Every structure is written in structure tokens, then in C-alpha cells.
Structure 1
């Protein structure tokens, strides 16, 4: 158990120091840690294992609350644990009933989706049952499938590119998103189109995005953030990446995204968001600022402007909150979905009892 604690402490330290950043990176690190914790920990009941995973999850989330993907992965793992215990309990109950009387009618089974609708997914299996020794390996195997899903995120999303992008279209995006980059590169294999990239000052990550797209042979133009509204009327579609998707369909995305989405809505331009389902969080934006990160304002207004700095307050937020009414479609690794469908995906992937990690 001490080895587990060392691994947890190590990941907590990296998250606190922001040595690990980015949804994909922290998700894979979290999943790798949870596999080790579940494999090496001593547990015999569902409650014991859920408590162990929630305790680890609570520490990881507190280490860097803005990396919402950490909590999402922990919730996915908890959902797998509950389902595997329920399946084992159901199998044992059926065997016991069958051995009691060979004339006993088989009980009706209830699908997991019906359990979700009735809010029964969080019920705890009977702690007196003797679960099979294979249960631990079954849980690990299911978690490894989540790991495989993360590794194939880009492939599953970019394969839908040719359905969303058509020839001679003008596409606009902002900053650099690996998911959007792969999506556009795949579309360029069969389609010829133009991309306008807002530079996303003060990080100027849009310049890096434009460079990568131009290397792939895509006609790309970098525009300043201030020109987004002016050229939006020429655009056919806005394609965005995101840091996280909240339960109401809102986005936590790179600063400047809200401005672009609002301009698109004004001109009735469709906004498409490319994201893996691991970024979908069951949390609601009651206070949008809690999901933001404030960076050093020196890149916005240098400290050499001493006289001016004394008279103004400068903030440099890294993220924007984008309301769901600005988004038309989510392209995920499980297909395209409108914002109104996200509640269903949350029900399928997370247990209501795990939205909070309170023990």
C-alpha cells in the first residue's frame, strides 16, 4: 500500500506544479495510476474499492481543480467498478435461484440503461456475497478498454472529417488544438479548403497551429483576434477545440473562443466542437471562474509600463466559458451529438453517486 501512496503523491505533486497539463496527458496518467491502485490494493467489497478510488480521486482533483479530465477519468473508473460488481452479483443470484429449484422461473433482468433511468446505478451490491476471484481482472480489463479508447481518440474523431468539411469551404478556428489539427488534416486528404486561424494572443498558439496546417498542404491564414468579427461573414464553419465540456453543454476553452463563438452566432455560422468524451464533465458552471486559470499578466502589459500598471488592474485568463447556445454540434469519438444530447452521455458514462467525491 505504501508503494501506491508514493505513486499517488508523485502524481499529486506533478499536478500541483503543473508539470502535467492538458486533458489528454493528465487523463492517461490518472488511468495508469488507478490501474495500479486497483491491482495492488486489498479489497473484497464494492464499498471498499469505491472508497479507495474516491480517496485517490479526491486528492488528484484537489491538486489541480482546473484539470477536469482527472475527475472525469476517476468517475469513469468508478462507473466500471459498480457495473462489474452488479454484474457479478446478478450472476451469483441467478445461480443461487437456479440451484434452489429447477422449476423456478428465471427473474426478469434489467438493462443498465434502465438502471440509469431509475437512478439505481449507485446501489451497492450485497456485501455478504462471495464474489469470484476473476472480478479484479475483469475490472482491470474494462479499465484497459478506457485506456485503448483514449489512445484512439484522434482516429475516431478525424474519421468523421470528410462528412463535416466540404470542398472550397472557409473554416475558422482559434489557438492550437491537437484534435482540431488532426481533424483538419484528415479532411484535407479528400477536400480542398481554406483555414483562417485566430492567433489567440498573448499565447499566440494560433501561429503554431497555422504552421502545422500549412505543412500539411492546407491553405492557411493567420488573423489577429481583433479581426475575427470582421471576416466572420466570409466563413462557412467554425471548428473549435476545448479543454472541457460541462454538463449543460458549455465549454471551457482557450481564451478568445467565446468571442469567436459569439461572432459566429451573430452571422448564423455553425459552430462545431471536436472533443473526446473523456472531456465531458458532469459538473455545472455555477461559478464559471472556478474553472479558469490566471496567468502572469506580463505578456499583456509589461512591468516596464510602471506608471500605467499602478492605475489599472490587468488579468490574463487562460480559458473562456462558452455557453451551450453558441454550439451547434459536438464531434466526439462516438459520433456527432447536439448539446441537448450530452445529458444522455453523462448518464451512460458516470454514476450519479460519483459526481462528487465526498466519502
Structure 2
């Protein structure tokens, strides 16, 4: 009884299974009905020829099997080879051997099983996923994707390669000391001048290769962590990198640094200072006697335009519409009033009344999109739509350095989210403290328990407790977006250093300005 009937599999002992001498089951039928004298010939006849793609897949499978063996993924198999109902990790060695053997015709070769994480890691991963889902839920449904990185408010965690001038500038960004697209870009370029002045090229490399990737990148990353880069800042960074790459490696380091500093000064002079003068001169001619100019928030180029027209002897008045939390229009209204202009200051809630008295609308810009839409401080779209409803001309003053090839259809996909606690000022929080008795007990219970655990007794309510009440409220979320998008049909004219043009000409001017 040395032979077996056809279709039966030989049951080898368990010792051979543990030692790895077990052959794949796909060859058991071949061995069952063939004489022992020709096992090698039979196997050669039945093995199909493999294509190049199948050989490549086999090599990949063998490589994965070797990696799994190197990691120590090889638990003992004490059961018979026919029992394959366990998890994939237990069948790892057997599938690794099957991957090394050629597959039969019409039968797929089993792939090596991926190593699953250990049982101790699974609860940690599930807990992390739950925390991410919970955090996304608290951030809101539509704007949750904008909370990618918390804003940096200190120098903690900054790279050692960040220059002190950049550290100070980043803190000014996050605290709104330096605010406005143009001001942020100019201050960034001036900080980069300080970085370049103190830079020394390491031995064995060149300034063109090392300065951009190893020295400027940490500065840019830190500024981005303090506050997202504006469109004009991104354009200026790309321009500066292009200038650095074009430096001849044979140029001495001192000469190359002087050339870079000179290029930055020329960029600020031509693209900002001279451009603002041309725009202010062109826009001031649009102001006539008796006009009432409506503007929103604060724009440096709008302020220059109004002051130029006033110094030219044109008699007109200004209405400044403003909104929280930055109240940028307060400074603009104060400066204009100090120069002798008649100024009326209103909040955004009175914009519908302000447009009734206005004759023209002058707006600044954070960026002009390629589809002609205006990307500016949140509330600009509301003012533009109200002005269009009252047939008022809406004029946008914008330098070409703020033009971009991007397209914006709404304010949700791309925007900047500021900390929500900035929505309520210190005085507003104090005014909300008397409302505590009317709040649900579940909202104020956590804050009271925390105060008792820290101080031993219930402490006196402070303005910071108002934020705790809002955070602990499950049905209340605070959201503060900084920009909105104004459709091109609500804009009559865009004035740049290249002249007055319609919003549809923005892509042409952008190509013209980038090819200079």
C-alpha cells in the first residue's frame, strides 16, 4: 500500500510542518498518481511558462516574504495544512512558501499576507481615530478642512535655524501687529534681507543650492506656522527663489549677497512703492467734487488715493464701514479725519444705510483671482452686492503682485480661519457674565468643578469663563473666517499700475507681470 488513490493528499507528520519541509497543496495531486521514479520530470511538464509581468510579481512577493521573515513574523503552525480558517497572520509562512512556487494555469497565486499590527497597538489607533473625528466634528462641517495646523503664538518649537528677525516677525503676524497683504509681504522681504546678510555658504556647496533649500525654507515654514501666507507673499517667495537659482556659481559670495539685497530693494520699489503711486494717481482722478466715497475695513492703497485727492483740492467725504474682530477701519477713519477729511464711521450692520448716501465704492484687495473674482476681507462681498443693488460703481485698487492664476468659486474651499476666541473682546465677555444663571447646568458644571478642584472653593467668575461655557456647549460652535470671495459681476473696474481694466483681464496682467 505504498500508493494512494487519486485525489487523496498525503498527511505528513507535524515535525516536517514545523521544519518547513511541507510542499504546497497544489502539487499533492501531481505526486499522488505518478511513480516515485519521475517526480522531477512530471513537475517540469506541468509547470507553465511565466511571462515577464508574472516574474516581476513573483520577485515582489519573494521580497515581501523576506521582509516579513526579517521582522520575525513566523508563528508556529501546529495544525494540519488543510486547516486555513485562521487569521492571515497565522498562515504567513505557508503563504510565503506558496508565493515562491509557480501557480497553475487558471489558478491565482496566493499573495503574501500583510503583517497586522499587534493587539497592543489597535486600541491606540482606534482611540486616535475617535479623537480626530471628534475634533473635526467640533470644528464644523463645511470649514473643518481649514483647521490643518494650529496657529503659532510663541517661539516654542521653532527650528534652531530660524533667524531672530523672522521669529519676531512671525509673532507680529500671529498677533495682528503686522496686518494687511502688502505690509506682510514687505516686512517678510525685509526680514529675508537680514537673513541673507548673516548667511554664510558652507564648504563644499554653492549659495544658489544651499540658501534656498537649507536656509530660507525654515524661515518660510515658521512664518507659515504663525499665519498662512498671503497670495502676494507666495508670489514674492517664488520670485526670490528664482533669482537665487539663477546666480552664477562662480560669483563670489559677498558679491552674490549684495546682488540679492539689491534685487529685493528693486522689487519693493517697483512692485509696491512705484505701483502704489501710479494706482493712487489713476484712482484719484475718479473722485469728483461732492462725491461720497464708501470703503470697507482698511487698505493702504485706498488711504493713499483718498489723501492724494484731498491734497489736490477735491472736496468730498468718506464713509468707512468696519467689522469685528480686527476693526481695521477705525485706524483708517482716524487718519483721514486727522488730515481734514469728513469721515463717517459705521459697522457692517449699517452697510445697507451707508450705500444709500454713497456715490462710489473703493475697495482694497487681498488677491485678484484668475476668474476675475475678488478675494478680500470678509464682508467685502456684502458691501459690493449692496452697492451693485444701488447701481454704485465698485472700483478695486490692487497691485499686480497680488494677482494669481488660482480660481476661486466660493469662500469655503480656500480660506483662513482665525482663533474663534478672538470673536469676543474682553469687554464683551464681561457683558456676558450676568447671563450665567440662565445657562443650562450642564454647560457651567464643568467650569465650576474645575474651579473648585483648583482653588478649593468656587472662584469668582472671570471673562475667560465665557469661553469655557461656549466650548462646553455641545450645540454651539464658534467660527471666524477672515476672507470672502466677491463675484466678478459685482466689480466694475480694477485699477493696477498697468491702468484701469475689467476683472476679465486679470489673467493677462498676471502673465505680463510674471514675465518681466
Q: Same fold by TM (over 0.5)? A: yes
Match of residue 179 from structure 1: 301
The residue matched to 1:340 in structure 2 has which SS? Answer: helix
Match of residue 324 from structure 1: 488
What is the alpha-carbon distance in structure 1 between the residues aligned to residue 369 and residue 324 of structure 2? 25
Question: Are 1:66 and 1:292, in contact at CA under 8 Å, matched by a contact in 2?
Answer: no
Does the C-alpha gap of structure 1 residues 345 and 81 become closer, same or farther in structure 2, counting only changes over 3 Å? farther
Q: Does residue 147 in structure 1 map to residue 268 in structure 2?
A: yes
Does the C-alpha gap of structure 1 residues 236 and 286 become closer, same or farther in structure 2, counting only changes over 3 Å? closer
The residue matched to 2:163 in structure 1 has which SS? Answer: helix
Match of residue 196 from structure 1: 319
Does the C-alpha gap of structure 1 residues 301 and 4 become closer, same or farther in structure 2, counting only changes over 3 Å? closer
Q: Does residue 76 in structure 1 map to residue 235 in structure 2?
A: no
What is the alpha-carbon distance in structure 1 between the residues aligned to residue 513 and residue 240 of structure 2? 9
Q: Does residue 169 in structure 1 map to residue 291 in structure 2?
A: yes
What is the alpha-carbon distance in structure 1 between the residues aligned to residue 257 and residue 229 of structure 2? 31
Match of residue 397 from structure 2: 274
What is the alpha-carbon distance in structure 2 between the residues aligned to residue 327 and residue 195 of structure 1? 20
Does the C-alpha gap of structure 1 residues 61 and 286 become closer, same or farther in structure 2, counting only changes over 3 Å? farther
What is the alpha-carbon distance in structure 1 between the residues aligned to residue 178 and residue 479 of structure 2? 23
The residue matched to 1:220 in structure 2 has which SS? Answer: strand
345, 351, 374: which one pairs with 1:222?
345
Match of residue 34 from structure 1: 192
The residue matched to 1:171 in structure 2 has which SS? Answer: strand
Shift in Å, 1:216: 2.2
Question: Are 2:295 and 2:321, in contact at CA under 8 Å, matched by a contact in 1?
Answer: yes
Question: Are 1:171 and 1:239, in contact at CA under 8 Å, matched by a contact in 2?
Answer: yes
1:122-163 CA distance string (max 9 Å, x none): xxxxxxxx7555666544433220122334554333222332
What is the alpha-carbon distance in structure 1 between the residues aligned to residue 349 and residue 192 of structure 2? 44
- Give the count of matched residue pairs: 306
Q: Does residue 342 in structure 1 map to residue 466 in structure 2?
A: no
Gaps spanning 5+ residues in structure 2: where?
1-158, 440-469
Question: Are 1:246 and 1:281, in contact at CA under 8 Å, matched by a contact in 2?
Answer: yes
Residue pairs, 1:114-129, within 5 angstroms: none
What is the alpha-carbon distance in structure 2 between the residues aligned to residue 50 and residue 345 of structure 1? 28
163, 169, 186: which one pairs with 1:6?
163
1:312-331 CA distance string (max 9 Å, x none): 44434343332333222222
1:190-217 CA distance string (max 9 Å, x none): 3112222223245444344333223322
What is the alpha-carbon distance in structure 2 between the residues aligned to residue 52 and residue 345 of structure 1? 33
Q: Which moved more, 1:215-224 or 1:308-317?
A: 308-317
What is the alpha-carbon distance in structure 2 between the residues aligned to residue 251 and residue 202 of structure 1? 21
The residue matched to 1:164 in structure 2 has which SS? Answer: coil
The residue matched to 1:288 in structure 2 has which SS? Answer: coil
Question: Are 2:415 and 2:481, in contact at CA under 8 Å, matched by a contact in 1?
Answer: no
Which protein shows a greater Rg?
2
Does the C-alpha gap of structure 1 residues 136 and 24 become closer, same or farther in structure 2, counting only changes over 3 Å? same
The residue matched to 1:273 in structure 2 has which SS? Answer: strand
Q: Does residue 285 in structure 1 map to residue 408 in structure 2?
A: yes
- Higher RCO (CA 8 Å, separation ≥ 6 residues): 1
144, 155, 180: which one pairs with 1:22?
180
Question: Are 2:319 and 2:354, in contact at CA under 8 Å, matched by a contact in 1?
Answer: no
Gaps spanning 5+ residues in structure 1: where?
89-129, 352-359
| TM-score of the two chains, using structure 1 as the length reference | 0.69
RMSD after superposition: 3.6
What is the alpha-carbon distance in structure 1 between the residues aligned to residue 280 and residue 182 of structure 2? 16
What is the alpha-carbon distance in structure 1 between the residues aligned to residue 215 and residue 408 of structure 2? 25
What is the alpha-carbon distance in structure 2 between the residues aligned to residue 186 and residue 192 of structure 1? 12
Does the C-alpha gap of structure 1 residues 60 and 166 become closer, same or farther in structure 2, counting only changes over 3 Å? same
Shift in Å, 1:243: 3.1
What is the alpha-carbon distance in structure 2 between the residues aligned to residue 62 and residue 346 of structure 1? 28
Shift in Å, 1:186: 0.8
